[in-house]
Amino acid sequence: MMLRTSASRVLDDSDRDEALALLDRDPVANVFVSSRVRTVGLNPARLGGQMWGYGPRGGLVSLCYAGANLVPVNAGPEAVHAFADRARKQGRRCSSIVGPADAVSPLWERLEPHWGRARAIRWEQPVMAISHPPAVPADPLVRRVTPDEFDLLLPACVAMFTEEVGISPNLGDGGALYRTRVAELIRIGRSYARIDDGRVVFKAEVGAVTPFACQVQGVWVDPGLRGQGHAVAGMAAVVKAALAYFAPVVTLYVNDYNHAARAVYRKVGFHEIDTFMSVLF
């Protein structure tokens, strides 16, 4: 039966418990949004954007995080229509739309005529997860990065971002926001790397954490050292640490055409559980 309430609404902290209950229905797919809500709540000033809800108070059906990214959550056709309508009226403020492909695809179909062409579209991004010890030995030299190693790590982070996203994170604000995020992940102990004589060999971050799942991001190996097993052993080390310190499930998503990365994650013990899609501006 179709819902008759066609409009979305902006949520606030009074909706926090209901929003978290909805997010926790799929804690792996929703780990990024759930982590944000658990950390800062739903007040737009702290959230760095708005959380849109679809459904009446006490009967929340879907969410959409509207910040640096636009991220639909549990969004069926009616919710997608409502979120697209609000996003269209507001105008594009995000750098990407990302989330489950079955919601992002129709959302983008409705927004493209108004927002214009995307810079890139990643139509299929397998979501992978692991909840058991890695299937291969971990690299004992992968460890948490320390704050005094920020200047060593930052160029590797910039190289990873540029390679993955297609543009440098230093554009726009000169990289200030990106540097702040890199430094914050180091400070809270969620940045891991193998550094040999001042050279970053492997690195990855645990970007989002909830009591139920955590998400690995920014996986990178020095181009001159690829094909030597650093990614497999490094990821095994990150998974081992993440399961020990952060959450019972470790997840990530990867571009479908990145066969080398997918092979690495499968060797470590990840398996595919869902499909995301990203629209990049």
Q: Could you report the per-residue pLDDT of 195-206, keeping only the tens digit for each?
A: 999 999 999 999
Q: Which two tokens stand for residue 145?
A: 């990065």
Q: How confident is the model at residue 112 (pLDDT cuts 50, 70, 90)?
A: very high
Query: Which tens digits make up the pLDDT trace of 138-195?
Result: 999 999 999 999 999 999 999 999 999 889 999 888 889 999 999 999 999 999 999 9
What pLDDT sits at residue 236?
98
Mean pLDDT of 34-54: 96
The answer to whether position 122 is within a domain reads no
Residue whose C-alpha is closest to residue 268's, from 141, 160, 137, 139: 137
The answer to whether position 193 is within a domain reads yes
202 shares a domain with 135:
yes
What pLDDT sits at residue 58?
87
The answer to whether position 3 is within a domain reads no
141 shares a domain with 106:
no
What pLDDT sits at residue 248?
98
- Look up the domain containing 71 and give its range: 9-117
What pLDDT sits at residue 5?
47
What pLDDT sits at residue 2?
43
The answer to whether position 280 is within a domain reads no
238 shares a domain with 192:
yes
| Rounded CA separation 164/218 (Å) | 9
Percent with pLDDT over 90 in the chain: 93
Single residue among 117, 151, 167 that ends a domain in this structure: 117
Single residue among 96, 117, 138 that ends a domain in this structure: 117
251 shares a domain with 141:
yes
The answer to whether position 2 is within a domain reads no
pLDDT value at 35 more than 90: yes
181 shares a domain with 106:
no
Query: Which tens digits make up the pLDDT trace of 57-90?
Result: 889 999 999 999 999 999 999 999 999 999 999 9
The answer to whether position 279 is within a domain reads no
Query: Which tens digits make up the pLDDT trace of 119-129?
Result: 999 999 999 99
The answer to whether position 153 is within a domain reads yes
Q: How confident is the model at residue 6 (pLDDT cuts 50, 70, 90)?
A: low
190-194: long-range pairs with CB below 8 Å, 24+: 190/246, 191/144, 191/145, 191/153, 192/142, 192/143, 192/144, 192/145, 192/234, 192/237, 192/238, 192/241, 193/142, 193/143, 193/145, 193/149, 193/153, 193/156, 194/139, 194/141, 194/142, 194/143, 194/230, 194/234
Q: Which residue has the higher pLDDT, 57 or 16?
A: 16
106 shares a domain with 134:
no
Which residue has 């959230």 as its token pair? 47
186 shares a domain with 239:
yes
137 shares a domain with 111:
no
pLDDT value at 1 more than 50: no
The answer to whether position 256 is within a domain reads yes
Which CATH number is 172's domain given? Answer: 3.40.630.30
What pLDDT sits at residue 57?
84
Single residue among 117, 138, 153 that ends a domain in this structure: 117
64 shares a domain with 20:
yes
Which CATH number is 106's domain given? Answer: 3.40.630
pLDDT value at 3 more than 80: no
Q: Which residues, 6+ apart, have CB-to-CB distance to 214 below 8 Å?
A: 31, 206, 208, 242, 246, 247, 249, 250, 251
81 shares a domain with 171:
no
| Domain count for the chain | 2
